[in-house]
Homo-oligomer: A and B are copies of this chain.
Amino acid sequence: METTTITDTQNLTTEEKILAAAEKEFMLKGYDGARTTAIAEAAGVTHAMLHYYFRTKDNLFDRIIESKIDMIRDIMLGSLDAPGMPLFDKITLAIGRHIDFIAANPGLPKFMINEIFSRPDRMPKVLDQLRSHAPVMLETLQDQIDDCARRGLCRKVDAVMLILDIVSLNIFPFMAAPMANPLLGGIMDDMTSFTEARKKENIETIMRKLQP
């Protein structure tokens, strides 16, 4: 993976320490809830350094959200880098990788949806690179579905709805975990086993949806 999360917190430059602390704070509290003083304190530097390196809270936030957009773009592109693979195998692989990614970045969907919702004006720039990739992905997928359907291997379904189904089934349970887990008898208490169970469940659900 290209973008990594900092964990060692030692022998880093001041700029890197600020970025690492800012990522944690922004992901946890959002733009509005994040405090620049808290970021500086967590980074172990004076809060003036934050302004020295990034001038404003906005600039710092932009750096963080751009790195997150990069992660999402990588995942989007990675989910179709299996040329020539049969549709069912491709979807199975994509669901597995997607859920692994979400389990490794549990706060990311909430963060992105939230910040886009609360500041739609600022987002267009960073979302443009995602927008450029989406249409070809959808077209490629629809072509492969239609091809499968022509050969009687699967049902002819709408690619957009299928993608919506997959990302909904993959993301939402992790996103709603703090609210849903207590209501559902603590099914997510053991996160690793829940992750694997959800992979199987979602693959099954989508395969049944595709059956002729």
- Chain A positions within 8 Å of B, measured between CB atoms, are 28-30, 32-33, 107, 109-110, 112-114, 116-118, 120, 127, 130-131, 134-135, 138, 160-161, 163-165, 167-169, 171-173, 175-176, 178-180, 182-185, 187, 197, 201, 204-205, 208-209, 211
Contact = CB atoms under 8 A, between A and B. Distances in A.
B183 A131 contact: yes
B178 A117 contact: yes
Nearest to A184: B160
A161 B117 contact: no
Closest 5 CB pairs of A and B: A168-B172, A32-B33, A32-B32, A134-B183, A172-B172
B167 A30 contact: no
A32 B112 CA distance: 16
5 contacts: A33-B118, A110-B114, A116-B178, A127-B183, A169-B169
A134 B184 contact: yes
A117 B113 contact: no
A113 B134 CA distance: 27
